[in-house]
Structure 1
Amino acid sequence: MSKFKKQKSGDLPAISTASLPDIVFMLLFFFMVATVMREDELQIENNLPLANQVEKLAAKNKLVYIYIGKPSAQYQARYGTNDVIQLGDKISTVSEVQTYVNTRRNDMPEDIQDEMMVSLKVDRNSKVGQLTDVKQELRDAMALKINYTAKQGDPMRNVRNR
């Protein structure tokens, strides 16, 4: 007979928490990479027109956004009440459109630069003159793929009674 007998207990060993910080940081890193942050803070009124044949674009990394509309209430003292153009996070002039588009094109990976598309988010109450000037600058920048952003709805509600 042996003098030293090991007593076996039926208890399970405690769960090791040594890898818990690794798991937490891995999840944190995943959510930081997967989360899309809002790129532009709107400084204009942007009530989009309604359309009944709206398609959702698949690749948003190929888009360059240009906003046109009246400055929102907090910016009217600085920019007035006429239609303005917002490029990125700042109100700009028409002459800056070409530089902005070319800069954004150069920031894209080389294989998708030819697929770049300009998305115009124009307020439904904006004047056509500002839009025409922007489109001319886009032609000069060789940004010929343009789409107009709209909301799903009845387009007849865009018509104002005069």
Structure 2
Amino acid sequence: MSKFKKKKGGDLPAISTASLPDIVFMLLFFFMVATVMRQNTLKIENRLPRADQTEKLAKRNLLMYIYAGKPSSAYKDMGTVARLQLNDKFASVNEIAAFIAAERDSKREEEKPFLTTVLSVDKETNMGLVSDIKQELRKVNALKINYKTAPGNPIDR
């Protein structure tokens, strides 16, 4: 007789599922933190003009976006003339001052000098609307302005 006996069945032990909820919640937490939500829903047509010498702006949290263009097909009841969009709503030019003030108030004091206004203007928009927007930005001392463009050759259509 031998002192040690071999096991007869070579069955694998059952996999423990005790840590499975922990793994699921870790994945859920990771995707909640890593996902970036869309900030604004465009209600206007925004075919950007092309430019060949463009730069990406570094800090996206210091940007204030003003959109201008004709209302998109879902908002044709708003007319066919170029409109202004601030955040998720149509606005008039005289609402820009309140928009800039609200954006400045939402930032920390040391970030306020670095705030930049980004004009995302459709290429078919009249320059009169852009000029009115720039006049309002001057009134509230928002003098850092960038124009959003699409990369490409400006001569090509």
In the superposition, the TM-score normalised over structure 1's length comes to 0.85
Q: How big is each residue's C-alpha offset from its partner over 1:101-134, in whole Å with a ceiling of 9 and x where there is no partner?
A: 1101211233322211111100001101101111
Q: Could you tell me which residue of structure 2 aligns to residue 89 of structure 1?
A: 88
2:69 is the alignment partner of 1:69: yes
Query: What is the percent sequence identity of the aligned residues?
Result: 53
For 2:146 and 2:83, locate their aligned partners in 1 and report how far apart those are by CA, in whole Å: 19
For 1:127 and 1:80, locate their aligned partners in 2 and report how far apart those are by CA, in whole Å: 15
Matched positions, count: 153
Distance 1:8 1:70, change over 3 A: same
Q: How does 1:5-154 map to 2 (within 5 A)?
A: 14-77=14-77, 79-154=78-153
Distance 1:133 1:17, change over 3 A: same
> 1:105 corresponds to which letter in structure 2?
R
1:12: how far off? 6.9
For 1:104 and 1:32, locate their aligned partners in 2 and report how far apart those are by CA, in whole Å: 25
Q: How big is each residue's C-alpha offset from its partner over 1:46-86, in whole Å with a ceiling of 9 and x where there is no partner?
A: 00000000111121111111100011122122x21111100
- Identify unmatched segments of 5+ residues in structure 1: none
For 1:87 and 1:93, locate their aligned partners in 2 and report how far apart those are by CA, in whole Å: 9
For 2:156 and 2:109, locate their aligned partners in 1 and report how far apart those are by CA, in whole Å: 42
Larger fraction in helix: 1
- Identify unmatched segments of 5+ residues in structure 2: none
Q: How big is each residue's C-alpha offset from its partner over 1:9-34, in whole Å with a ceiling of 9 and x where there is no partner?
A: 58775543322212211221121121
SS state at 2:117 partner: strand
For 2:5 and 2:111, locate their aligned partners in 1 and report how far apart those are by CA, in whole Å: 69
